[in-house]
Amino acid sequence: MFLKIEKEIKNIVKILDHSSTYIVGGYVRDKLMHREPKDIDIVSYLSTVEMSKRLKLKPYIVNDRFNTARFYFNDRFIDYNCIENINSDLKRRDFKINSIACDLNGKIYDPLGGISDIDNKVINLSSTISLGEDPIRILRAFRFKYQLGFALSPSVKSSVKKNINLLSASPKERIYIEFKELLSHNDRGKALRELYKAGILCVIFPDLDKTLKFIHIKNKSRFLMGHLLNTVEAVDIVSKERMPKEMRDYLKTRMFPLYLSALFHDYCKPESFTVEKRKQRFYNHDIMASQRIEKMLKRDLKASNEETNIIARLIRMHMRPHFLLKEDRPTDRGIYRLFRESADDAAGLMILCMADVLSSEGRIERGYISMFRRMKSIEARILKKQVRLLNGDEIMEFFKIKPGRLIGEMIDSANSWAVENNVTDKKIIFDYLKENFSEIKRQ
């Protein structure tokens, strides 16, 4: 059996020995499945230094444990390993579907039966020690399940159970990469629920332990963890609703922080829990969670600062739209403040709130979509200068005052008032500030 190798790859490796160099892993698997392969793994008996000379490319070590070097060319890369024997190399790989090789002529080597697993859509281990040798492969198994639509074999499930606690000592950066990749495929809520049932989620995020038996009766959930998982699955459902392009684009570009926000939006409720008039109350659980999530994500996941900030912002603000929507008619002033403070995450905030309501009450609340449309309408008025806004420099120059807390309060009040009243004349806004900020007169 032979595999057709595209010309671009052949041109890169044409100077290598065709009898001792092999293409392995995901490239071969994807080709056999008629999927577009992203990058390429090759192995041979040459040292990394010698391979660098042959390819005339600079190597970058990407995995010290397996001594994997990466060579970049055009907009792709080659991952390279020096081996002693092709069969031994294939046996040390993670899963049989990734333990198929072909030489540079395209001849396929499949000593472990990986092609049969592809045909049967099942994931089997390449060896009994595969997951113990590298516990990150536990996450990879679930990633391939959802990426390829395959099933985990009983032996994989058994090995996951046996080696799951090893994940806690695994490099957080690698956990982050696999976790993020897992959530880049379909059925993200279903995937997270399966990670929870397998015990993986609480190994990666031990802070979730406190939610497991905390009673929090909501639609279809008895415990808080159930509500959190239902909210994540609700994002999947909400994402299929008709919504403005900006909200749909948010789902594509900031999917990872959105789903993490759904998973952790209420996770501090056990600490903020009180009972008033026989009802559960959770004062400031949103603020508490947003403050703790940053430290937790850096400790447990090594997530990027940008993503961590987005997650913290969404969690901190997720109650605000709920309160606004309960008003008979939310004012433009309230909508504008929410829009301004949510920055570029207003669309994600509305999606999170829709998922929260669906999880809690079992219904789709499209009022949040209407709220987002009002936000965009206000933004359009501002951009068209139908509303004039003040900045800090203008306020300090007009009132001859120095920078400080008061400036921020004045900006917020003046601009919110201008939006609410469609004011186009800055002089009128300054008059409003004179009347409403007695502190100005004392300075």
Q: In the block, which residue shows the tokens 């391939």? A: 144
Q: Are residues 155 and 179 in the same domain?
A: yes
Contact criterion met (CB below 8 Å) for 268 and 285: yes
Q: Are residues 107 and 128 in the same domain?
A: no
Q: Are residues 222 and 366 in the same domain?
A: yes
Residue 18 has pLDDT above 80, yes or no: no
Q: Does residue 318 lie within any of the structural domains?
A: yes
Q: Are residues 103 and 145 in the same domain?
A: no
209-253 pLDDT, tens digit each:
999 999 998 988 999 999 999 999 999 999 999 999 999 999 999
Q: Does residue 2 lie within any of the structural domains?
A: no
Q: Which residues pair with 72 in a beta bridge?
A: 77
Q: Calculate mean pLDDT across residues 290-305.
A: 94
Angle, alpha carbons 301-305-60 (nearest 5°): 70
Q: Calculate mean pLDDT across residues 125-129.
A: 97
Q: Does residue 1 lie within any of the structural domains?
A: no
**How does residue 268 score in pLDDT terms, banded at 50, 70 and 90?**
very high
Tell me, what CATH number does 68's domain have? Answer: 3.30.460.10
Q: Calculate mean pLDDT across residues 28-51.
A: 91
357-381 pLDDT, tens digit each:
999 999 999 999 999 999 999 888 8
Contact criterion met (CB below 8 Å) for 374 and 332: yes
Q: Which residues pair with 102 in a beta bridge?
A: 23, 108
List the one residue out of 27, 24, 137, 131 whose CA is nearest residue 85: 24
d(C-alpha 428, C-alpha 379), whole Å: 20
Q: Are residues 237 and 365 in the same domain?
A: yes
Q: Does residue 218 lie within any of the structural domains?
A: yes
List the one residue out of 402, 409, 339, 400 whose CA is nearest residue 375: 339
d(C-alpha 13, C-alpha 16), whole Å: 5
CA atoms within 13 Å, Cβ hemisphere of 296: 19
Q: 8 versus 45: which is more confidently predicted?
A: 45
The number of distinct structural domains making up the chain is 4
**How does residue 39 score in pLDDT terms, banded at 50, 70 and 90?**
confident
Q: Are residues 228 and 90 in the same domain?
A: no
Q: 47 versus 443: which is more confidently predicted?
A: 47
Q: Does residue 387 lie within any of the structural domains?
A: no
Q: Are residues 340 and 236 in the same domain?
A: yes
* The last residue of a domain, from among 329, 356, 380: 380
SS (H, E, C) 174-208: HHHHHHHHHCCCCCHHHHHHHHHHCCHHHHHCHHH
Share of the chain above pLDDT 70, in %: 98
Residue 443 has pLDDT above 60, yes or no: no
Tell me, what CATH number does 153's domain have? Answer: 1.10.110.30
Q: Calculate mean pLDDT across residues 40-64.
A: 87
**How does residue 310 score in pLDDT terms, banded at 50, 70 and 90?**
very high
Residue 442 has pLDDT above 50, yes or no: no
387-427 pLDDT, tens digit each:
778 888 989 989 888 888 888 888 888 888 888 888 888 88
Looking at residue 66, its pLDDT comes to: 67
SS (H, E, C) 336-364: HHHHHHHHHHHHHHHHHHHHHHHHHHCCC
Question: Which of 68-77, 194-203, 254-263 is least confident?
Answer: 68-77
Q: Are residues 275 and 420 in the same domain?
A: no
Q: Calculate mean pLDDT across residues 264-276.
A: 94
* The last residue of a domain, from among 179, 204, 229: 204
Q: Does residue 385 lie within any of the structural domains?
A: no
Q: Is 249 exposed, middle or buried (0-12, 13-18, 19+ CB in 10 A)?
A: exposed
Q: Are residues 245 and 344 in the same domain?
A: yes
Q: Does residue 47 lie within any of the structural domains?
A: yes
Question: Which of 102-106, 125-129, 134-138, 350-354 is least confident?
Answer: 102-106
Q: Across all residues in the chain, what is the average pLDDT?
A: 92
Burial 297-318 (b: 16+ CB within 10 A, else e): beebbebeeebbebbbbbbbbb
Angle, alpha carbons 142-143-145 (nearest 5°): 60
Q: Does residue 225 lie within any of the structural domains?
A: yes
Q: Are residues 277 and 325 in the same domain?
A: yes
* The last residue of a domain, from among 74, 90, 119: 119
Q: Are residues 330 and 403 in the same domain?
A: no
Q: Are residues 360 and 414 in the same domain?
A: no
**How does residue 129 score in pLDDT terms, banded at 50, 70 and 90?**
very high
Domain coverage including residue 78: 7-119
